[in-house]
Amino acid sequence: MSITITLKQSGYDLSRLPEDVREKLVPTMIQFCADYAHKEMTRAAPRGRTGDLKASIVKEVSALEAFIGSRLSYAPHVEYGTRPHEIRPVRARALRFTIESQVVFAMRVQHPGTRAQPFVRETGMKLVNRVSELWSKAFREIVG
């Protein structure tokens, strides 16, 4: 689950700016958006039992694009939730778990499903709402 940030020009014609400003403005804007999204997504991600999902959120930034998210295989299941489903052992002959201090073995269990915890979508919406503010901040930093 991730957010990829790319900028698309509309409205103001950036070609009217001096070349040195243009060359710095877009990468600065990408960096500001990536920083904000990383901070917000890390805050919004559910901690869970281990904290692995929250700890797995990365920020990878290039001059014209940024990736913010988790590459954990179960991140989409947290984001979108799951339907009720059956769980069977994959690498063992039985499932082993504990219920009220009692170790239990089973050949299969019915999982009730999980509710969605849309931490990526929430981050995306917050970022969209902050774009003009971040653009102004980037412009002030470059132009002065």
pLDDT tens per residue, range 92-113:
999 999 999 999 999 999 999 9
Query: Phi then psi for 12, rounded to 5 degrees?
Result: -65, 135
Measured CA to CA, the distance from residue 142 to residue 23 in angstroms comes to 10
This prediction's pTM: 0.82
What count of other Cβ atoms lies within 10 Å of the Cβ of residue 17? 16
Q: What percent of the chain has pLDDT over 70?
A: 96
Question: Whose CA is closest to 78, among 113, 50, 108, 112?
Answer: 113
Residue 10, both tokens: 């509309």
Q: What percent of the chain has pLDDT over 90?
A: 71
Measured CA to CA, the distance from residue 59 to residue 36 in angstroms comes to 10
Instruction: Give the CA distances from residue 105 to residues 50, 93, 95, in Å, rounded to whole numbers and listed in that order.
Output: 23, 10, 5
Measured CA to CA, the distance from residue 117 to residue 23 in angstroms comes to 38
Residues β-bridged to residue 99? 102
Mean pLDDT of 121-132: 94
